[in-house]
Chain A
Amino acid sequence: MQHHASNLLPARQAPVHSVSVGQWAKHNLWGTPASAVTTALLVLILLWFIPSLLEWSVLNAVFSADADQCQAARDIGACWGVVTEKYRLILFGRYPFDAQWRPLLATLILTSLLVMSCSPAFWNRYLAVVWLLVWLIFFALMGGGKWFGIPTGLVYVPTDQWGGLPLTMMLATLSITLAFPLAILVALGRQSTMPAIRSACIVYVELVRGVPLISVLFMASFMLPLLLPTGTSPDVLIRVLIGITLFSAAYTAEIVRGGLQAIPLGQIEATYTLGLSYWQTQRQVVLPQALAHVVPSLMNNFIAIFKDTSLVTIVSLYELSGALGLAVSGDPNWRPFKIEAYLFITLIYFCICFAMSRYSLWVERQVLHR
């Protein structure tokens, strides 16, 4: 009954497990009766839907900027000519046509810096300086005129003529950047033992989170001029920026607070016994862990803010949807093809947001594996 192994077996390589297409299909598509029925139903729906979609959007579509051809192909094919014709107006809004190289350049610089900032290779203290420089360049390019008395050599373009993609990128990026430090302060304040500070933070966060962004934008739009000294009239862009920043900070503060609450009290007590002050503790021990904890929620929040910038149309800043309205609604030749123009900016938004959510998943994995 007693026996033992005569020799120890070495580890072997795992056998290569190749699944044929047929096997995969059987397992995933018609393995059980319920699965087979589902597959049949879905395939039927797709077969009804996809060929006509392809026909409309590609096969019968008109790509050239010819309004008559488009009219002829109405209801049969998409009129992408509206994009070919109007894309500059949609992308840049009411910005003076000849000077559109300026917002284009500004957006490209901003976007490249954003993309660069995503890679850990660039994460050092010089990044902050570069960001500051890029913002200065951005506003100098977009606005032109005189900057703090120094002439830029470019024609002055008032902010209410800024629009389209540059406006969206600027509003989203700037408000998120400004909101972040404010959010950290508010989140820390909410944890504070001092009742005045804690109550102030709670009231701010609950008030802002309880109302729609539209209300905050209206408040910024209509009430700020009343709140500031008579005679001053802040730029509509500044008003909107303040509104979005305050809105974004409240939500971000809640997310950061969630991360702070996940830090065990024992850690904080340990740092106090080592002699660190409150601010040192927060900076060195608590915040790095708390923020790493909530990276996915933070990224989701950023994506949401980016999408929310589309609302500034309602307070008369013409970002992409607003610029589209101006470009296409006013032109009777192209008015019937609004849907195609909308699909164009849908594509832009989708690509950017989808890229951000992929990046967010990547960051999540990085943080988990440290």
Chain B
Amino acid sequence: MLNWRSQRVRAWCYQVALIGVFIVLVGWLLHNTLGNMRMRGIQSGFDFLLDPAGFDIGESVFTFTSTQTYGTAFLVGLFNTLRVSCIAIVICTLWGTVLGIGRLSGNALARGLCYVYTELFRNIPLLLQLLMWYVVLVELMPDTETPLHFRDWVLLSKEGLALPWLMSEGLTLTPEFLALTWGLTLYTSAFVAEVIRSGIQSVPLGQVEAALSIGLSPWQRLRLVVLPQALRLIVPPLTNQYLNAIKNSSLAVAIGYPDLVSISNTTLNQTGRAVECIAIVMAVYLTLSLLTASGMNYFNRRAALKER
């Protein structure tokens, strides 16, 4: 007998009601979308990915011409995103660790400077930082004819950072790439520093006292007792920062670096397939997030303490 006072019956009713509302809502949204698309003459479907792109891409890991497909263009965007994200993640881990340990240093000057750095870079929006670095690299750098240089190995000008000796034809990093990677790294390092610092400070005081009582030096204490235990506490929030770095690389669209979002934007404007383009971008980022999270999870399990 259906009894309103039964918990199970009520739960069932709530869920049926929720699903019902959900179906009605989705139905209404679909109806609107189809109507709107018909009205604006927008077609749907992912077949546009096989059409020629019709635009060039400023920089790419492999050569891309405008005759290649939209699908290939998205691939270029993905690689550009990965390029920036991976470099930023590696460098910000190293620099962030230095800063985090520096904030706990015995030297007051080091402590103070690390504090200033982390507060400064954490309290200014990333977009603003990227825009400023971009202005510096594009307008305040000297012209290509008179670059800043260190011998013939490193040349810095409005065109970017040139390293002529690297690989067969030399390597030039564009100002867009430089501004994005540099800005993203400096920004994320400040957050990584906080994660590391708070992880170290969360190691129980008893552990530090035990290390003191057996006569370890401060450096030995940090390396042998504190850091291995802090690692457990650091990995989850560090994973978060890595995911943030990957997502923040999407700000490339503001300074003209052709990352995934930027190319998706161009495609969207050209083909009008808003839903498909946005869906592709979201799917890619979700996959990247999942992959990074599982990788860090594996690392987390290995760093876990062996218990009963």
Contacts and interface: CB of A to CB of B under 8 A. Distances in A.
Interface of A: 28-29, 31-32, 35, 38-39, 42-43, 193-197, 200, 206-207, 209-215, 218-219, 222-223, 225-230, 303, 307-308, 310-311, 313-314, 321, 336, 338-339, 342-343, 345-346, 349-350, 353-354, 357
Given A212-B248, A214-B253, A357 B275 contact: no
B106 A28 contact: yes
Given A194-B14, A310-B128, 17 more contacts: A31-B106, A32-B106, A35-B106, A38-B109, A197-B15, A210-B289, A215-B285, A218-B261, A219-B278, A227-B29, A227-B33, A229-B32, A307-B124, A313-B127, A338-B139, A346-B128, A349-B128
B7 to A, nearest CB: 9
Interface residues of B, number: 53
Interface in B189-244: none
B303 interface: no
17 contacts: A29-B108, A29-B109, A32-B106, A38-B110, A39-B110, A43-B109, A196-B18, A207-B282, A212-B250, A212-B261, A230-B32, A313-B254, A321-B131, A338-B139, A339-B136, A349-B124, A353-B122
Given A194-B14, A215-B278, A227 B32 contact: yes
A303 B254 CA distance: 21
Contacts of A38: 105, 107, 109-110
B102 to A, nearest CB: 9
A4 to B, nearest CB: 32
Main secondary structure of the interface of A (DSSP, over half): helix
Contact of B274 (A193, A222, A314): A222
B247 A194 contact: no
A350 B123 contact: yes
B163 interface: no
Contacts of A215: 250, 261, 278, 281-282, 285
A226 B32 contact: yes
Contacts of B39: 230
B277 to A, nearest CB: 9
B247 A223 contact: no
State the main secondary structure of chain B at its contact with A: helix
B23 to A, nearest CB: 12
Interface string B250-278: 11011000000100010010000011001
Interface of B: 11, 14-15, 18-19, 22, 29, 32-33, 35-37, 39, 105-110, 113, 119-120, 122-128, 131-132, 135-136, 139-140, 247-248, 250-251, 253-254, 261, 265, 268, 274-275, 278, 281-282, 285-286, 289-290
Between B106, B120, B248, the greatest number of chain A beta carbons within 10 A of the residue's beta carbon is seen for: B106
Given A42-B109, A42-B110, A349 B18 contact: no
Nearest to B19: A196
Contacts of B131: 321, 342
A183 to B, nearest CB: 17
B36 A226 contact: yes
Given A226-B33, A226-B36, A353-B124, A211 B135 contact: no
A156 B247 CA distance: 38
Contact of A338 (B11, B32, B122, B135): B135
Contact of B11 (A31, A193, A225): A193
A230 B127 CA distance: 35
Contact of B107 (A29, A213, A308): A29
By Cβ-Cβ distance, the 10 closest A-B pairs, closest first, are A353-B123, A28-B108, A212-B247, A307-B125, A212-B250, A196-B15, A210-B286, A310-B125, A222-B274, A210-B289
A307 B113 CA distance: 23
A31 B247 CA distance: 43
Contact of A211 (B19, B122, B282): B282
B113 A42 contact: yes
A357 B120 CA distance: 12
